[in-house]
Structure formats: C-alpha cells, structure tokens
Chains A and B, each alone.
Chain A
Amino acid sequence: MKHEGYDASTLAAGQKTIAEFRNVSKRFGSVLAANDLNLRIAKGEFLSFLGPSGCGKTTALRMLAGFEAPSEGDVLLDGEVVNNLDAHRRPVNMVFQHYALFPHMTVAQNIGYGLKQQRPRLPKNLIAEKVSKALDVVRLGGFETRRIWEMSGGQQQRVALARAIINEPKLLLLDEPLAALDRKLRKEMQIELQNLQRQLGITFVLVTHDQEEALSMSDRICVMKDGRIVQVGSPQELYDRPRNRYVAGFVGTSNFFDGKVTKVTGTRASVRLENGDEVEGSPVSQVSVGQSVSISVRPEQIKLHRSGDGATARVLNRIFLGEHTEYLVKHDTLGEFLVLSPRQSELNDGPFNTGDVLFASWEASAALVLDSK
C-alpha cells in the first residue's frame, strides 16, 4: 500500500459522488488532526464518521462545512474543489452539537434565517410559507412565534434541524446532534432522522462517538482513529468483517484473545494464544505465519454448556436482559470474557448461576483473526 490511510474512494456501481476527500490532511500547529483522508460520499446516503474524541471526525466535518481548510489535499463538493470556498458560499448546512440557535430570534426567524440570506431576496410571504412547511416536517407546526428559550431540548433539536434543511442543502452535516438528549428522546430522534433523510433525499453526514447511534442510522460508517480512516463499510460489514481489532472493539462488543499465527490453510488460520493453547480462526484479511493477531469472538457467538467440549469457564456474574442473558465468565489462563446466551439455551440447560463451572465453545468461523493494531 502506498499510504497507511484507508482508501475508501470507491463507491458501488451506479452511485453518484456528492462529496469527496482526496488525500486530505489537516494540521493544527503540530497536531495532525486529519491524516491523508480518502473518501467518497455517495449522493443520498447516510454516512457516519465514528470514533472517539480527537480522532479527527469533527475536523473532517468542519472541512466539509467550510470552517476549516485542508492543509494538504482536496475537498470536493459535487465534483468541484472547494478547499478555500467560504462556508457561506457552500450548498451545505449543519446541525450544531448544541444547536447554536440564535437566542434573539423567534423559532420562525431562526428557521427562515438561511432563506433570508439568499440574494436576490426572496419575498417575505414565500419565506413564511417555507418556514411553516419546515416546521410541519419536524412536527412543530404552530411554534413560529415561540422564543428559543421556551423550547425543550428535543424541540430545540427539531428547530435546528428545520433551520438546516430549509435551504435544501446538498449535504446535511450533523455534529453529534443527539448527544444532549436523554436516552428515550435520542431513540425517537434516531428514527425521525432516518425517516427525514429518506423523505428529503438529502445526503446526511453524521459525526458521533456513539456506536449504537452510528449502527442504527447509517448506510455506511467511516471508523476513524488518530486522524486516519480505519475502515468504511455498512454497519453489517463492520460488525461481521472488522478490518482490525480497533474496529471490532469499537463497533459492537467483542472478546479478544491475543496470539501469533502458526499455520494458514485455506480460509482458516491456527493461532497460538498467549497461554499456549492453539485455536482455529477465520482471517478477515491476509495473515502470515508469525504475525501478531487478535482472535475476536462476539459474545453472542459463544455457547455455554454444562458438559461437553470447550474451555472451562467459571461464571462470575449474570445479568438477565429478558431475551438474552449476559454472563461474565473467567477462564483460568485466558482471563475474563463476555457471553450472551439466548433465552432458549437457558430454557434447555437451565439458568447458569454465579460460581457454576461450565464449558464455553465457538465455531472456528465465528473466531475472527484480526490484525492486532
């Protein structure tokens, strides 16, 4: 590979590119906030940048908005390089993290702000009409004359959304838009955002550190770490075929066992774990003998039995979740790991209680052999 950064500059056939990062880097003083980003964003898709704080996701978003210019490389919008195009000239709108609603304006004035900036000027009654339509879209009809501080957090969120979509932007950027909402409201807004995106057909680009949010809403997720893109793919792809240990740990929960590859045969690889055990697994990408890898096994892929094959494991903790039960078990040499058992297996084998010694096993196909980075 020419560069270490993940190249996501290919899209499925038939998809039109609306925005693109080409070898984009951004420096703030000595800090490299974005490092050689390559990414195409498809027209009409819902793409999320996912990663912990400081991974560069917000910088990427701000370069799309026009608040930051790339230090190297090009940012393209609709096929044109827009590196130094001011934010107010871009057909892009943003929903800010804490909404950034204008406190000295009414709800209608906030929402109509973008239309009011258009030159030649739009007639007042047209603005009023569009504002009232946008309010209907976010289910706030009749709130025109309300003041911002009279609105709840959820309502302010909708006003921010209405204000951003009224200009019919080519890209709608969302910077952690749900972070300030409580859990229940967040779930509701996730569904609403998805519906809105389908209804409007606008390309949504979301920034979040919440994997659940990214998984539930996005068509594609771009996982970032230390300023680089680590992997881009659909939620299922990232979950089933994570590129490395980092992605597997960030997208969903997983158990990791470190080791070295001893043998590669076809679609399987043998890995000697740190305790000396040798296990079989499925490499996601090319691995070679001697390479340091992590075996990743999702908690729901591990089966617990009272008898039979498998590693002996003592139940340390049991959390009943209704449909599933989550067990924290401990193996003498492999350490602790999580198991998610479906209700049915409990009904067959009886509930496993804290202190029980059981056997844990998994299919070789469920044990992913990942680059340990």
Chain B
Amino acid sequence: MSIRTRNWLLLAPAGTLFLALLIVPLTVVLVFSFGERAPAGGVVPAFTLEQYANLPARWTAFKNTLTLAPIGTLAALLIAYPLAYFLAVRADPKWKTILLVLVIVPFWTSILIRSYAWIFLLGGRGLPALLEWIGIDGVRLINTPFAVLVGIIYGYLPLMVFPIYVSLDRLDKRLLEASSDLGAPPWRTFLQVTLPLSVPGIATGCMLVFILLMGEFLIPAMLGGGKVFFVGNALVDLFLQSRNWAYGSAVAVALVVIMLITVTIYMRLLNRLGARRDDVAIM
C-alpha cells in the first residue's frame, strides 16, 4: 500500500462522518431553505426567497441568542479566569488533580438533570423563598433571562476553565519572576506577562463556549420557560411543532451565516492583537 493510500485510509472514517453528517445535511438544509412549505409538512422544491423575507418574524429568537450568547461567554470568562488562575498558579500541587476533577464532576450527570435542579433552585420554593424569608419579597427568577444566563454559565463553565487552565499551567513561572525582578509590581506583571500569554486559552475557551451557546436550546427551554428562547428553540418549534421545514431551514442557514461572520471577525481581531505566535497554537 502506498503512503498516499494509507493517508487516505487514515482520513476515511472521520471524512465519511464529516461528509455524511455535516456537508450533506447542510446542503439539504440550504436547498430546503429556498423551497416552499408543503401542506402536509414537507418541502415543495422551488426557488423562492420568501422564507428569508420572513426571517424578521423570528427576530426575538435571534435577539435573545445574540445578546445572551456573548453575555454568557463574557460572564463565563470572568468567572473561569480567576478559577483557572488559582488552579494553575496558586493551588497546592497536592490538591490540583482533585480540584480539576471537581471542575468536571458536573459533567458526570446529564445536563437535563442538572437543569431540573436549577428549576427547583430558581423556582418559587428555591432561592426566592429564601430571599422572602430574609425580607426580600416578589423576586422572580425562573423563566427570566437571568435564569437562562445562570444555566448557561453553569453548564459551560468547565469548557472555559480548561483551555485557560492549560495556557496558564504551561506558562513558565520564571517569566513572572523575571518581570518582578525587572521592577514590575504584581498587577503589572499580570497585565504585561500573564494575561497576554494566556490569550490563546482565553481565545479557545471563548470560541468553544460562544459557538455552542449560539446553538443552545435545552437550557433556554427549561429555564426560560418559553419566555426566553434562542434560535435553537425556534428551530425545534419550526421543524417539530409547526412542521414548516422550509422556513426552519432558512432560520438555520441564517444562524450558520451569522456564526461564520462573527467567528471570522473574532479570528481577525485576535490575529491583529498579535496573539498569533508559533509557540502557542490557538486553533
């Protein structure tokens, strides 16, 4: 067998999967999006832009996704960074592994079950009841953007913690000593050395969380109670309830296009930041 054949064999399983489960369905969705709704729920092939013209009707879903996904990403970053920093720089090596395992322990339980837990926590007999007991009345948490945000941050935090942890853990601690030796107080060492050198981790974490959040539907469905819904929820509704596949496809295509645009802009910004270096692969 030639090297060439063997290389193709190596790529074959993943390539087949990629083709069958990504390229083909995406093409189907793209074709559907130009079609018309069939009376029984399927798609009548056509070439019409009608579905795209109707997109503004689902504006709320797009608005929710495009505000809560970035806010959720940012909030996760702000919570994850100090945690990752503690784990990588400050934590006693003896405890490091245990603490890291604790970060991923939630993953051992289904997100569905964990979201139910949040429904109870944020629901009438959970936190609001506790707040009432100490004298703060009338707080409603469940089925609000806040509840969705809490669920999102909780669910995606480990995905943000790990890449940042890795970049901080790989950081040569002597660089921090060198900075201090050259006269920089701790906070300036952080801004000038630690933070720039952890940009690859931040970039990876934000990208991971943001992309996954854009397609999220479970958490808004459970904690948003139909009041705070994402594009993902709109898609579920259009494909499974309304059975309007053509319109659903147009919404899906719009989401993919928005994601491509944001991710491209994001990468451009990163590269301009000078984060592209040969010793640290970003992605």
**Chain A residues close to B by CB (< 8 Å):** 65-67, 86-89, 92-94, 96-98, 100-104, 113-114, 117-118, 149, 163, 167
Contact = CB atoms under 8 A, between A and B. Distances in A.
Contact of B182 (A104, A114, A149): A114
15 contacts: A65-B181, A67-B181, A87-B180, A88-B184, A89-B183, A93-B181, A93-B182, A96-B178, A100-B172, A102-B193, A113-B179, A117-B188, A118-B183, A167-B182, A167-B183
Contact of B177 (A96, A101, A167): A96
B180 A88 contact: yes
Contacts of A94: 177-178, 181
B49 interface: no
Contacts of B177: 65, 67, 87, 94, 96, 100
Question: Size range of the interface on B?
Answer: 20 to 34
Interface in B59-83: none
A167 B179 CA distance: 13
B182 A100 contact: no
Nearest to A104: B196
Contacts of B181: 65-67, 87-88, 92-94
A118 B172 CA distance: 24
A86 B192 CA distance: 18
Given A100-B174, A102-B193, A86 B279 contact: no
Contacts of B197: 103-104
Given A93-B181, A113-B182, A117-B182, A102 B175 contact: yes
A101 B192 CA distance: 13
B13 interface: no
Interface in B182-200: 182-186, 188-189, 192-193, 196-197
User: Lowest 8 CB-CB distances: which A-B pairs, in order?
Assistant: A117-B183, A114-B182, A100-B174, A100-B178, A87-B180, A88-B180, A117-B184, A104-B196
B274 interface: yes
B277 interface: yes
Given A92-B181, A100-B174, A103-B279, 17 more contacts: A65-B177, A86-B180, A87-B181, A88-B189, A93-B181, A94-B177, A94-B181, A98-B174, A101-B178, A102-B175, A104-B274, A104-B277, A113-B184, A114-B183, A117-B183, A117-B188, A149-B278
Residue among B178, B180, B188, B279 with most chain A CB within 10 A: B178
Nearest to B177: A67
Contacts of B192: 113
Contacts of A163: 182
Contacts of B184: 88, 113, 117
A66 B184 CA distance: 13
Interface in B239-283: 274, 277-279
Contacts of B193: 102
B103 to A, nearest CB: 27
A89 B181 CA distance: 8
Interface string B128-165: 00000000000000000000000000000000000000
Contacts of B277: 103-104
Nearest to A86: B180
A97 B174 CA distance: 9
Contacts of B188: 117
B170 to A, nearest CB: 11
Contacts of A103: 197, 277, 279
B279 A149 contact: yes
Residue among B174, B175, B179, B183 with most chain A CB within 10 A: B183
A114 B279 CA distance: 24
Contacts of A88: 180-186, 189
B97 to A, nearest CB: 21
Given A114-B183, A118-B183, A102 B274 contact: no
Given A149-B278, A149-B279, A102 B178 contact: yes
Interface in B4-20: none
Contacts of B196: 104
Contacts of A98: 174
A103 to B, nearest CB: 6
A100 B278 contact: no
Contacts of B279: 103, 149
A114 B181 CA distance: 8
Contacts of B278: 149
A103 B197 CA distance: 8
A328 B186 CA distance: 57
Nearest to B188: A117
A96 B174 contact: yes
A203 B183 CA distance: 19
Contacts of A66: 180-181
Contacts of B182: 88, 93, 113-114, 117, 163, 167
Nearest to A111: B182
Nearest to A175: B174
A89 B180 CA distance: 8
A113 B250 CA distance: 53
Contacts of A113: 179, 182, 184, 192
Nearest to B171: A103
B118 to A, nearest CB: 39
Residue among A86, A102, A163 with most chain B CB within 10 A: A102
B172 to A, nearest CB: 7
